[in-house]
Amino acid sequence: MNHKFVEYIPKEIEEDILYVSTRFKTVVHKCPCGCKEKIVTPLSPAAWELTFNGETISLYPSIGNWKLKCKSHYWIKNNEVRWSYSFSEMEMEQVDEKDRYDREAYLQSKVTPKRNIKKRTIWNFFKWK
């Protein structure tokens, strides 16, 4: 596969090209199995991580297309597709559950809790100690 850094993902996705939008923190490509489905991999600590070594791109973790008919499972390392084993239904459910948990934990960590501020009233001022 080749890669292209783009601001916006094009409407027409070419085969064997990884479209990388750093602005939108997304990588898009066509499924390498040949089914021609568009694969969107959002970049975040709870989803995929992109590594660019100046020449090639790698994505971590693997890409499992459980919801697609092809159910393909592969890694993209140094612009190459490396096929992985097929997951059982139970393994797919476990991965989906872990992904939901990771996403929820990440979103919770991004929420800044409001400071616990005590309301001050005139009665607090006159309280006896």
Higher model confidence: residue 84 or residue 119? Answer: 84
pLDDT in tens, 75-116: 999 999 999 988 888 988 888 888 888 888 888 887 655 444
Higher model confidence: residue 57 or residue 127? Answer: 57
Tokens of 66: 């459980």
Q: What is the pLDDT at residue 62? A: 93
Q: Is the pLDDT of residue 40 over 50?
A: yes
Domain boundaries, the chain: 2-110
21-30: average pLDDT = 97
Q: Is the pLDDT of residue 21 over 90?
A: yes
For 13-34, letters b (16+ CB in 10 Å) and e give: beeebbbbbeeeebbbbbbbbe
pLDDT in tens, 57-72: 999 999 999 889 999 9
Q: Is the pLDDT of residue 120 over 70?
A: no
